[in-house]
Amino acid sequence: MTEHRPNKPSDRFVRSHLKTRQLVLLVELGRHGSILHAAQAANLTQPAASKLLAELEHALGVQLFERLPRGVAPTLYGDVMIRRAGAALAEMDAAHQEVMELLSGLSGRVAVGTVMTPSTSLLPEAVKRLKQNYPRVHVAITVDTSKPMIQRLRAGELDLVIGRILDTESAAVLNFEPLNDEPHSLIARAGHPLATRANLQLAELVGLGWILPPSGSILRDRLTALFLSQGLDQPAEIVETLALPVITNLLLDSDMVCALPTELVQPYLDAKLLSILPIELGIRMDLYGIVTRKNNQLSPGALAMLQTLREVAITRP
């Protein structure tokens, strides 16, 4: 004997018949156990509620509620639909709330990681523009090297990163929108003893104090390779830091040097407080760009930040 099973309509057929009012009615029927009371809670007449329920049961091909002398009781199928209807309505409410919050600027949060150069110009400009439109969106900014920030991005701790993807494993699960590369110059204080030296050579710089990024960063590796390629020892007097205020103060008050993109210290160069030493290091960094996770839906605040970064990047030289 073959067991009788209800007809199984296609998902498209069910979705085409499923209405928001039916979802609301299902939830209210689960709460009240009465078509009359559920209809009142859903702002429907009792005949309209009965019709909506009948249409839904017909579309699904199953009975969702047992009609009792005093009210209704959900069947096994009804329990499933009540639970799913509640979840669907909650998601719709959450989506509406997110949109309204973003439009009104009530809330929202975005966590951004960035390498040093965009932290001084691109990102501040984007944040100012974002705040003009959405003043109460909370922006949390981390400045670091690319490798740890990409790890935090993949772990979901950051929403987006302005940096570089340095390994093929990460490249497979991340999106990358290129922005710029970073030619580096050797920066020192104005009036540095080597500032006017003709034909300055790398060998003359080994004995100086150097401000360097941490070991393992791209720039540190390329500076190391630069000295090795010319048969030179690595500088012995070094300070490791990524903090720009620390870097600029050390440069201003000593004869230390630092390889930096000029964009980072342009105000100091314009004010003739710092200078570029006359040597071509030949160091260029790989392109940095906006990095996000593939197949990840950004929050409204993070999406607004991403769109603003794109707009600012387009207008920059």
94, pLDDT greater than 50: yes
Assess whether 192 and 262 both reside in one domain.
yes
- The CATH number that applies at residue 197 is 3.40.190.10
Q: What is the pLDDT of residues 170-205, one digit of tens each?
A: 888 899 988 876 678 999 999 999 988 888 899 989
In the structure, what pLDDT confidence band is assigned to residue 1 with cuts at 50, 70 and 90? very low
Q: What is the model's pLDDT at position 119?
A: 87
CA distance 159 to 306: 9
Lowest mean pLDDT among 16-25, 74-83, 198-207: 16-25
pLDDT at 289 over 70: yes
* Beta-carbon contacts of residue 279 (< 8 Å; ≥ 6 apart): 186, 200, 201, 202, 205
Looking at the structure of the chain, the number of domains it has is 3
Tokens read off for 17: 């018949």
State pTM to two decimals: 0.55
Report residue 257 as tokens.
Answer: 């040097």
**Domain shared by 235 and 309, yes or no:** no
- On whether the CB atoms of residues 206 and 233 are closer than 8 A, the answer is yes
Angstrom distance (rounded) from CA 254 to CA 169: 42
pLDDT, averaged across the chain: 86
**Do 256 and 212 belong together in one domain?**
yes
pLDDT-above-70 percentage for the chain: 91
Q: Are 43 and 25 in a shared domain? A: yes
Confidence of residue 8 (pLDDT cuts 50, 70, 90): low
- C-alpha to C-alpha distance for 122 and 11, rounded to whole angstroms: 47
The verdict on residue 190 lying in a domain is yes
Give the pLDDT of residue 273.
95
Looking at 57, 91, 125, which one is the last position of a domain? 91
Rounded to an integer, the average pLDDT of 72-87 is 91
At 36, is the pLDDT very low, low, confident or very high (cuts 50, 70, 90)? Answer: very high
Residues 79 and 201 in one domain: no
**Residue 74's CATH number:** 1.10.10.10
Under the banding of pLDDT at 50, 70 and 90, the label for residue 166 is: confident
Residue 101 is assigned to a structural domain of this protein: no
Name the residue range of residue 202's domain: 184-276
Residue 281 lies in a domain: no
Q: What is the pLDDT of residues 19-31, one digit of tens each?
A: 888 999 999 999 9
Tell me, yes or no, whether 158 and 305 share the same domain.
yes
Query: Does one domain contain both 216 and 174?
Result: no
Q: Per-residue pLDDT averaged across 46-51, rounded? A: 93
Query: What separation, in Å, do the N-terminal and C-terminal C-alpha atoms of the chain show?
Result: 78
Report whether pLDDT(13) > 60.
no
Residue 251 phi, psi (nearest 5): -65, -40
pLDDT for 282: 81
Provide the pLDDT for residue 2: 44
User: How far apart, in whole angstroms, are the C-alpha atoms of residue 213 and residue 46?
Assistant: 72
User: Which residue, 36, 61, 91, sits at the end of a domain?
Assistant: 91
d(CA 239, CA 224): 15
- The verdict on 143 and 212 lying in the same domain is no
Cβ-based neighbours of 152, under 8 Å, separated by 6 or more: 113, 142, 158, 161
The pLDDT tens digits for 132-141 are 888 888 899 9
177 and 297 in a single domain? The answer is yes
84 and 203 belong to one structural domain: no
pLDDT on residue 242: 87
More confident residue, 157 or 101: 157
**166-to-163, 172, 184, 199 alpha-carbon distances in Å:** 9, 11, 19, 35
More confident residue, 289 or 283: 289
Same domain membership, residue 252 and residue 220? yes
In a domain, 3, yes or no: no
Q: Mean pLDDT across the stretch 274-291? A: 86
92 band by pLDDT with thresholds 50, 70 and 90: confident
Whole-angstrom distance, CA of residue 160 vs CA of residue 314? 18
The predicted structure's pLDDT at residue 105: 57
Supply angle C-alpha 317, 180, 271, rounded to 5.
Answer: 55
Read out DSSP for 23-55?
HHHHHHHHHHS-HHHHHHHTT--HHHHHHHHHH
- Tens digits of per-residue pLDDT, 108-164? 788 999 988 888 888 999 999 999 888 888 899 999 888 899 988 988 889 999 998
- pLDDT (0 to 100) of residue 251: 95
Residue 48 belongs to some domain of the structure:
yes
Q: Residue 217: its pLDDT value, please?
A: 82
Which of 91, 117, 139 corresponds to the end of one domain? Answer: 91
Would 104 be classed as within a structural domain?
no
Domain assignment of residue 98, yes or no: no
Residue with the larger pLDDT of the pair 101 and 261:
261
Is the same domain home to 87 and 127? no
